[in-house]
Structure 1
Amino acid sequence: MAAKGEILELKRNSSSSSGNNWDRIVNDVVRIEKRLFPKHESLAKSFEEELRKKNAGLLYLEVDGEVAGYVMYAWPSSLCASITKLAVKESCQRQGHGGSLLRAAIQKCRERKVQRVTLHVDPLRAPAMNLYKKSGFQVDSLVRGYYSSDRDAYRMFLDFDAD
């Protein structure tokens, strides 16, 4: 059974009565990023810069007042968006949170009327591959050396029906 949590959107200059939400959330996300991704794949050093880009968004899952996971997405054009990062804290994995975050990001992309969402995933990460396939993503191609000289990625896509 999934732990209860709330998916929220990190908004620029967001703050609340409990202080500066932006700093706390970004710090929590960076901590997760550093734990789950190899140094050369981590956005930890450039995270705030990435988030300040005009066409980028971040949704995060808060469980018991802590950031348990996040999904970062971008929409560089009106035609296509991409899921650039999706991560869930190790202690919160296998509880449905990754799927909830992915669905929320896909919905945000739908609201922007994009026609396609893309992402890259290591073919050896079976749980991630299963999640994306279950969500309707299809493998487009194998990108050799995407992560490093000895680590490839599948480029995957999800097309929306034209309204």
Structure 2
Amino acid sequence: MESSKWEMVELQRNSGNWREVVEEIVRIEKRVFPKHESLSKSFEDEIKKKHTGLLYTRIGDEVAAYLMFSSTSSLCASITKLAVKEKYRRQGHGEELLKAAIEKCKSRNISRVSLHVDPLRIEATNLYKKLGFQVDTLVERYYSSDRDAYRMYLDFD
């Protein structure tokens, strides 16, 4: 991915383009996630929470990908959403967002980052493993009655 073509941004509540960015992310959210997994109806409320952060990559005025994370305690954070627009997949956006979120967590002295992923999403699972995440356990019926999830984690030394 050429750095001259895109930039990574942390969404700030007081930024002038906040509403437009959130609306675009909600549109991506609706396309990427099944209705019962989508935060599209509560997205704005989620990102206004005190310990929630949102990073996104932008190409021109377009959001290419986003990652939402939250630190539920001073020791642990979770990646709650990671999505890449279809036309920008396999270009490194997800990996760069994940690396940036990991660095943010490290800088806040968080010792563990966790996430859930559908075992059938092999590319996503492989990305997480590439960055050091390990499978903790299989959580049955996490997404729905017929969809499980791996709970994965990354511990910092």
Aligned identity (percent) is 67
Alignment of 1:1-163 (within 5 A): 1-2=1-2, 4-15=5-16, 21-161=17-157
Take 2:2 and 2:141, find their aligned partners in 1: how far apart are those partners? 35
Name the aligned partner's letter for residue 131 of structure 2.
Answer: S
CA shift for structure 1 position 13: 2.1
The unaligned stretches of length 5 or more in structure 2 are none
Per-residue CA deviations over 1:81-136 (Å, capped at 9, x if unaligned) read 00000000000000111100100111111111100000000000011001000000
Give the distance between the partners of 1:112 and 1:30, measured in 2 at CA. 28
Deviation for aligned residue 1:14: 1.5
Query: What SS class does the counterpart of residue 127 from structure 1 fall into?
Result: helix
Q: How far is 1:78 from its partner? A: 0.6
Q: Kindly state the Cα deviation for residue 10 of structure 1 after the two structures are TM-superposed.
A: 0.4
The one-letter amino acid paired with 1:11 is Q
Q: Secondary structure at the match of 1:118?
A: strand
Unaligned runs of 5+ in 1: 16-20
Which secondary structure does the structure 2 equivalent of 1:11 belong to? coil
Paired residues, number: 156
Asked if structure 2 preserves the Cα contact closer than 8 Å seen for 1:2 and 1:97, the reply is no
